[in-house]
Amino acid sequence: MNDNYWLEVVDTLDYAFQPIVSCESGGCYGYEALLRNIDRAGFDSIQSFMNSCYGSNLLNWINSLLIEKAIVKFIQLKSLKQEKNLKLFFNLDSRLLSDMGSLIQTLQHLYEKYKMKAPFICFEVTEFFDVFGKKIDEYSVENRKLFEIAIDDFGTGFSDLKLLYYLKPEFIKIDRFFVSDIENNFEKRIFLIKIIKMAEVVGTKVVAEGIESEMEFIICKHIGCELAQGFFIHKPDIEISRLVDFKTI
């Protein structure tokens, strides 16, 4: 597979955007970029695509192309909404964190090219490979001036609390499991309240993910979630013109 093949693959791929809103005001806080057209590009799943890139030793290069693709579309969306301070949440393959130099170089280049103010991008990561084998400073201080971190699917991994303590991420995104049927499940509410209290200790914002009903939104807001995302607010959409106007509570 030569470079032209991979360029065609990236050209086939697209991004859908899903709003993340403030629970308090209902206003738009940012958008998560979700990779689409994976099947049209010839892959069974996003993970198989990333594994293929990694196996071909091209993960850094492909990731830089994908970040740029997401940024270009995000800029168009910001222009339509006429808002300056929206954040872009971008799902990052955790293996890329082993080469922070390349990631930082990519961001510096793209920020300069598109005249974007750092840190408007937040990297969502589900698993941190070898993160505790490295100095934690690599993920803070200088580098965090260029990007923020969100731990995705928080609550599903045994190492989540350790990551929260050491990384002090800007965001944690609560797994849908804790949100689903929360209006009828007192134990889930207690668990979520405890997670929110722990996040407050390290200054981390909590995003309630997978909100599918008005009641889930109301309860998550009531118990202290600052941000929310899910089908109740808006489904992911490739067509950004449909994302300009949407209503929350």
Model confidence at 112: pLDDT above 80: yes
pLDDT of residue 229: 97
Q: What are phi and psi of 168, to 5 degrees?
A: 45, 60
Assigned token pair, 153: 């699917």
pLDDT in tens, 180-199: 999 999 999 999 999 999 99
How is the chain split into domains, by residue range? Answer: 3-243
pLDDT bucket at 135, cuts 50 / 70 / 90: very low
The total number of residues shown for the chain amounts to: 249
User: Are 18 and 34 a contacting pair, CB within 8 Å?
Assistant: yes
Q: Which CATH number fits domain 3-243: 3.10.310.10, 3.30.300.30, 3.20.20.450, 3.40.1190.20?
A: 3.20.20.450
User: Are 206 and 226 a contacting pair, CB within 8 Å?
Assistant: yes
Mean pLDDT of the chain: 89
User: Are 6 and 62 a contacting pair, CB within 8 Å?
Assistant: yes
For tokens 């100095």, the residue is 135
Alpha helix segments (H runs only) across the chain = 3-12, 46-55, 59-81, 100-114, 160-167, 176-179, 186-201, 214-223
- Report the alpha-carbon distance of residue 19 to residue 229 in Å, rounded: 6
Nearest to 239 by CA among 22, 17, 1: 17
Model confidence at 139: pLDDT above 70: no
- Report the alpha-carbon distance of residue 109 to residue 33 in Å, rounded: 20
Q: What's the gap between Cα 181 and its chain centre?
A: 24
User: What residues does 227 pair with on adjacent strands?
Assistant: 22, 207
Model confidence at 246: pLDDT above 50: yes
Model confidence at 141: pLDDT above 60: no
Share of residues in the chain with pLDDT > 90 (%): 68
Nearest to 249 by CA among 4, 33, 21: 21
The one-letter code for the residue type at 59 is L
Least confident of 67-76, 82-91, 124-133, 234-243: 124-133
**End-to-end CA separation in angstroms for the chain:** 49
pLDDT in tens, 73-108: 999 998 887 777 899 999 999 888 878 888 889 999
Q: Is 30 helix (H, G, I), strand (E, B) or coil?
A: strand
Assigned token pair, 1: 């597979």
pLDDT in tens, 161-170: 878 888 888 9
Q: What are phi and psi of 111, to 5 degrees?
A: -60, -40
